[in-house]
Amino acid sequence: MKRIIQLCLGIILINIPLIANNTLSEDIFYSRAESTDTLPSVFSKSRADIIDNKLRLEAAMKFGVHQIPGNLKDLEIYRTRLRSEIIRETGVVYDHKLPLNIKETGTIKMNGYSIKNIVFQTRHGIYTTANLFIPDGKGPFPAVINMLGHWLKGKIDSTGAQGVGHSLALNGYVCLTVDPWGSGERTTVHGIFEDHGDGNNLGSALLNVGETLMGIELSDNIRGVDLLSSLSYVEPDKIGATGASGGGNQTMWLTAMDERIKASVPIVSVGTFGSYILGTPCICEVVIDALTFTEESGILALVAPRAIKMCNHKKDENLAFNPAEMLRSYNNVKPVFKMLGVENNISYELFDLVHGYMKEDREAMLGWFDLHLKGIGNGASKKEIPFKQLPEEKLMVFPIGQRDANVIGTEEYCKKRGKELKAVLLNTKSFDLNQKKKELRNILRLNEKSVLKEVHKYSGMAGWVRVGLETTDNKLIPLLFQTPSGNSGEYVIIINSGGKDNISAGLIEGYTKSGLGIAIPDLSGTGEASLASLRFDYLKGRLRTLVRSEFWLGKTVLGEWVKELDVITQFLRSGNKAQKIAIDGTKEAGLAGLFAGVLEGNIDNVILRDAPISYLYDNRENIDFYSNAVFLPGFLNWGDVSLVAALTGKNIKFINPLTISGQTLNDSKLKEYQTEFEKLRNICKQSGKTTFQ
């Protein structure tokens, strides 16, 4: 067998053993740079956006399904169950007895109040940076925790969060403004501000180690309430919460889960969970599986009988926060407050403004807190006392580049936690294979089987048979295929996470010359099955919107791809008498093929090109190499790619295996993984082998 690698040209020339006891007679050329524009389309250019309509319909049905009980007895049972679901899905972790270890690094004296720059412990060994605004006098004062969304500079930002602290302090409130995980002073490199996961894959990487950005933020914020409650100059039974956008989202969740919050004001954030579907939520605003057990009005129901006022903006471009969506949730939950005799404890106000935390919002917030935390006024907006913004650097807890080692970002945390989980995997002496497969199904959210319902045949084109595979879960999979020459009955399904137009012409030509039958689909979110109606185009987040929409509905894109591959194999085996089927997948699509190989049982062998050899986090700089579809909740807690390969009992070939950030492996690292794959296959006592080229 010849194996020639011409790295200078970016071309690998190999002879691939595709199916056991069968070697291709022709060379297969594979080039990442080369693509073909000769593959015909299956559907017309003016096709309907099937995925868009499908997901929106599912979300709309959930709004009707998830009703809030109309009597007190059932309401209490409902709320207890709902809180348990939230804890399970977000992974929130907190220990009220854990020492806060507050450290003050500086104090700024203002006219009528002071500001302390502090750091404190939120989880064991994890610290957050914050600003503490304290009115002059002995107190005790009511207090407010101020949470942030996507101001890159976090608590110090003079266009948002900073102003809330000044205004509250001038009106007699202690205010704790916390840097959210991954922003402000909690970024990868101290002093280099970055988003924590909106337009990139950074926050999504937490999923692989069994964490959620929402859960970490909620844990931090609960500890923030612990801090406020511990201060001698704070009235612990008069604590409020506020924030805008992602911070407003945190405000709602914190108020729902922590009954020490007596009043809250979420700004430009409340809508419906259904409006997040194909909207633009950051991963910090996604609660995985949420629409399988509740709608947003259910979360608001957890707030009652405490007080909440929602401020939304008419010119907000984010449809998830559209006033009309907020009003749907408001009208759905208002009867709960009325049933508890506190219907005036829920309110809203609309402003003719764009997205942000503006003066009008702050004045509405002050009036609401005066009524519900101080017992004065009628809750209407209160004129704000003018204040002066500080130079942002003065509110930094640490000088740039001199951050305390206990304050870490996503990269460091994921590396550390990933190594711990990998050590557990490699020290495991035996596996219950059926149980591990069941757990993997749960991770992929394979809750229902997709069955081929009908085959829609279209006229042939350019030598390809064109069909649309209609499924029982309301999909229409575009598929091109060619039958094998002779009577071999051998097929290869070629898939690419960028769609069929990104499949190299040389790869197709090689398989054609080999005489194998070829099937080329566009999987959900790719090619002809891509979303055509996205409102925003996130260039750094291919499949981003689809992935997060599926999460809300209790699904994963990789899981959906596995189901689609199963449908395609049903079609090939039943209608085309396929005897052996291999999958050749590039990047994330290769992983889908691998998962299908272990879970569906009708795949004979799998080839993965440019796919991650492991889910271990390795490099922040290239975290967007793979699309958002690659991330799987709790995958490293379950095992790793090596364990999946071991469970297949099939021959698995990795061509140009990479790290999870797309980095090339050196020879020693590749050898290390080869040993790991062999070790796990021996433990599983499965046939087949895994090779790397």
Phi, psi of 413 (to 5 degrees): -65, -45
Phi, psi of 651 (to 5 degrees): -80, 125
- Distance from the Cα of residue 414 to its chain's centroid: 15
Q: Which of 130, 214, 111 is nearest to 175 (CA)?
A: 130
689's tokens: 């082998």
Name the region of 156 (left: φ>0; alpha: ψ -120 to 50; beta: rest). alpha
DSSP-derived 3-state class of residue 5: strand
112-to-166, 176, 268, 295, 366 alpha-carbon distances in Å: 10, 17, 30, 43, 17
DSSP-derived 3-state class of residue 392: helix
Contact between residue 266 and residue 252 where contact means Cβ atoms under 8 Å apart: yes
Class of domain 3-60+428-692: alpha beta
All residues at 6 or more sequence positions from 598 whose CB lies less than 8 Å from its CB, including other chains: 437, 440, 644, 647, 648
Alpha-carbon distance 559 to 566, whole Å? 11
Alpha-carbon distance 585 to 12, whole Å? 16
Q: CB neighbours (10 Å) of residue 374? A: 15
Q: CB burial class (10 A; 0-12, 13-18, 19+) of residue 56?
A: middle
Contact between residue 184 and residue 148 where contact means Cβ atoms under 8 Å apart: yes
Which amino acid is located at 435 in the chain? Q
Angle at the Cα of 164 (from 158 to 169), degrees rounded to 5? 115
Per-residue confidence (pLDDT) for residue 534, from 0 to 100: 55
Number of H helices, E strands in the chain: 17, 21
Alpha-carbon distance 232 to 261, whole Å? 18
Same fold, 3-60+428-692 and 66-418: yes
Alpha-carbon distance 661 to 675, whole Å? 22
Block residue for tokens 């922040």: 620
DSSP-derived 3-state class of residue 566: helix
DSSP-derived 3-state class of residue 81: helix
pTM for the structure as a whole: 0.92
Q: Which residues, in sequence order, are bridge partners of residue 496?
A: 586
Q: Which of 693, 608, 639 is nearest to 2 (CA)?
A: 693
Domain boundaries, the chain: 3-60+428-692, 66-418
Angle at the Cα of 598 (from 597 to 601), degrees rounded to 5? 70
The tally of CA atoms less than 13 A away on the side-chain side of residue 293 is 19
- Distance from the Cα of residue 208 to its chain's centroid: 10
Phi, psi of 480 (to 5 degrees): -105, 140
Q: Which of 520, 523, 521, 568 is nearest to 546 (CA)?
A: 523
Alpha-carbon distance 205 to 207, whole Å? 5
Per-residue confidence (pLDDT) for residue 690, from 0 to 100: 83
Task: For residue 399, say if its preceding peptide bond is cis, omega within 30 degrees of 0.
Answer: no
Quickly name the fold that domain 66-418 has.
Answer: Rossmann fold (3.40.50)
Alpha-carbon distance 351 to 33, whole Å? 50
Alpha-carbon distance 551 to 568, whole Å? 24
524's tokens: 């959900």
Per-residue confidence (pLDDT) for residue 1, from 0 to 100: 31
Which strand (E) or helix (H) includes residue 575? helix 557-575
Please report which residue ranges of 266-305 form alpha helices under DSSP H: 296-301
Mean pLDDT, the chain cut into blocks of 10 residues (693 residues total): 28 35 32 54 86 92 94 97 96 95 97 98 96 96 95 87 96 97 94 87 95 96 98 98 96 98 97 90 92 97 98 92 96 98 98 96 98 98 95 95 95 96 96 95 94 95 95 96 88 96 94 94 93 53 84 97 96 90 97 95 92 95 92 98 94 95 94 95 86 85
The sign of the dihedral angle between the CA atoms of 116, 117, 122, 125 is negative
Which strand (E) or helix (H) includes residue 135? strand 126-135
